[in-house]
Structure 1
Amino acid sequence: MGMMVAPYREIREAVHSVSNTLTGRQWITLSGSDITRLLNITREDIQQFGALWSDLRLDHYMADGGCYRYRRYGQFSLDPDTLEKHQLPHEPYFQPGYINTLNGEIKRAFEPLTAEFALHHVLDRLIRFMAEVCNGASGKKVPWNVRLHPYRIVATEDSHGMPTPEGLHRDGVTFISSVMIRRHNIQGGVTTITDASQTHLADVQLTQPFDLMLANDETTMHSVSPISMANSELNTAYRDVLVIAFTQP
């Protein structure tokens, strides 16, 4: 039996509802089952898209000396009317020190996104859906700058993996999202969301493929707790996530 596809009206209603919630409380979560149904993401899509996380590269810029983070990086411009994305020339990633107290003030030359990743239809659907939600929360069509950060955080028997080694932070963008791709043999990885004054708002754990957290980065802060290996008899333990940042030019 094939996966049920959400009708267009249901997708529009979902965008409207999620946008209103994002406007009201500044952050939202959606289950992976809702995302995959709304966007017609099949089990095969989940496997194919998730397999791309095995081709990330070690982050050599960790000021804490950690060797637990693998990633790539790329950015796109988004047509405000058609929501088509256009990949921008690859360049180093930079954050000011007041935004990233651990790795800020450095031009970090990460490996670019692979063509297979950048052109994947699952990525197109995710970006379009989230852009519409962000447009709804913004009250207008925005020519978003979209930055993509596929991450793999690794834990070993001897060491934890740190999804947010900089601690509670914001990313210096307009909206920030985390999409769960896969949790393999790990414990931990709980997302904490606060307001701009660091008053606690919620603790969220993304567990299933395509579980989503989306927040207004200008009014909230976030962190993710360390991960540890759940079963030391298995050889690997990791947390695969796609971070998508939307910035209004």
Structure 2
Amino acid sequence: MTREFSAPGTTPERLLTALAEDGYAILEPAATAQWLDVPLSDLEAMHDDWNGLPPDEYLKDGGRYRTRRHACFVVHGGEVEQVPHRAHWQPVEYNALHGGMQRWFAPMMASTVVRPAWQRLLLRLADAASALRGPQRWYIEAHQFRIDTAGGIGRPTPEGAHRDGVDLVAVALVGRHNVKGGETRVFEAEGRRGERFTMSEPWTLMLLDDARVIHESTPIQPLAEHTPGWRDTLVITCRQGAFQGG
């Protein structure tokens, strides 16, 4: 039997302190809603937007287990601006499997990005990035992921343990159904300390200082055979200066 370790949650009041001290911090769902100052039901209402995500056509391992959407924003001066749709690009130094290539994913739906809860989430993440690096313009990329077990196994991070080449990474569990695995692992980029835990409750939110830690999620498998299984996540990155790839 696989043992699941609970995510070590903090309070909204200590979120930025924990992020500064440890390089990462985790909010349980109620704490996420409190930090954002939105009802948890408003966040949960977004989950339907993960149904029908288009396939990721760029998986180099030949898998068909990942579907996704992508969008880019600039946050500055308390304002959120969605920028024209663009490719997602990472250098091979940060993504040895898929780096160095322009990946054009389907855009996020307009009905998602106009939600007040979505706008609030981006603003608060920009605030957290500013607490780490100082107030400035933030270049934000958002990724909706569904990893499924239709082929028997799904890999949330086929590239392995990695950094993203940004300043702040936020990972929210949006939902999971009929799966085991998907353990989150966070390690010091320069050191030996690490932690492992399973994000199991929708809208558990993890923030990472990308300069200090590397992260990965282990593969998922179905709990019951012949029954669909999936894990839905939202990944948002904040980067100073510009989007990766110019």
Counterpart of 1:147? 141
- Report how far residue 130 of structure 1 moved: 2.0
Counterpart of 1:241? 233
- Report how far residue 241 of structure 1 moved: 0.3
Counterpart of 1:6? none
Counterpart of 2:65? 68
| Aligned mates of 1:200, 1:188 — CA distance in 2 | 22
- For the pair 1:185 / 2:178, whether they are aligned, the reply is yes
Q: Could you tell me whether the CA contact under 8 Å between 1:171 and 1:217 is conserved in 2?
A: yes
Q: Could you tell me whether the CA contact under 8 Å between 1:20 and 1:136 is conserved in 2?
A: no
Of 166, 176, 179, the residue aligned with 2:159 is 166
- For the pair 1:221 / 2:214, whether they are aligned, the reply is yes
Q: Could you tell me whether the CA contact under 8 Å between 2:60 and 2:97 is conserved in 1?
A: yes
**Structure 1 portions without partners, runs of 5+:** 1-12
- Report how far residue 195 of structure 1 moved: 1.1
Counterpart of 2:56? 59
Q: Could you tell me whether the CA contact under 8 Å between 2:44 and 2:202 is conserved in 1?
A: no
| Aligned mates of 2:188, 2:41 — CA distance in 1 | 38
Name the SS for the 2:190 alignment partner: coil
Q: Which moved more, 1:195-204 or 1:51-60?
A: 195-204
Query: In the TM superposition, what whole-angstrom CA distance separates every residue of 1:215-245 from its partner, at most 9, and x where no partner exists?
Result: 11111100100001112253x2100000000
Name the SS for the 2:46 alignment partner: helix
Q: Could you tell me whether the CA contact under 8 Å between 1:192 and 1:204 is conserved in 2?
A: yes
The number of residues matched between the two structures is 231
Q: Could you tell me whether the CA contact under 8 Å between 1:192 and 1:200 is conserved in 2?
A: no
- Report how far residue 100 of structure 1 moved: 0.8
| Aligned mates of 1:232, 1:110 — CA distance in 2 | 30
**Structure 2 portions without partners, runs of 5+:** 1-10, 242-246
Code of the residue aligned with 2:237 in structure 1: it is A
Code of the residue aligned with 1:145 in structure 2: it is Y
Name the SS for the 1:228 alignment partner: strand
Calculate percent identity across the aligned residue pairs. Answer: 29
- Report how far residue 200 of structure 1 moved: 3.9
Q: TM-score, normalising length from structure 1?
A: 0.87
Q: Which moved more, 1:125-134 or 1:53-62?
A: 125-134
Q: What is the CA RMSD across the aligned residues, in angstroms?
A: 1.7
Of 107, 119, 124, the residue aligned with 2:114 is 119
| Aligned mates of 1:124, 1:200 — CA distance in 2 | 34
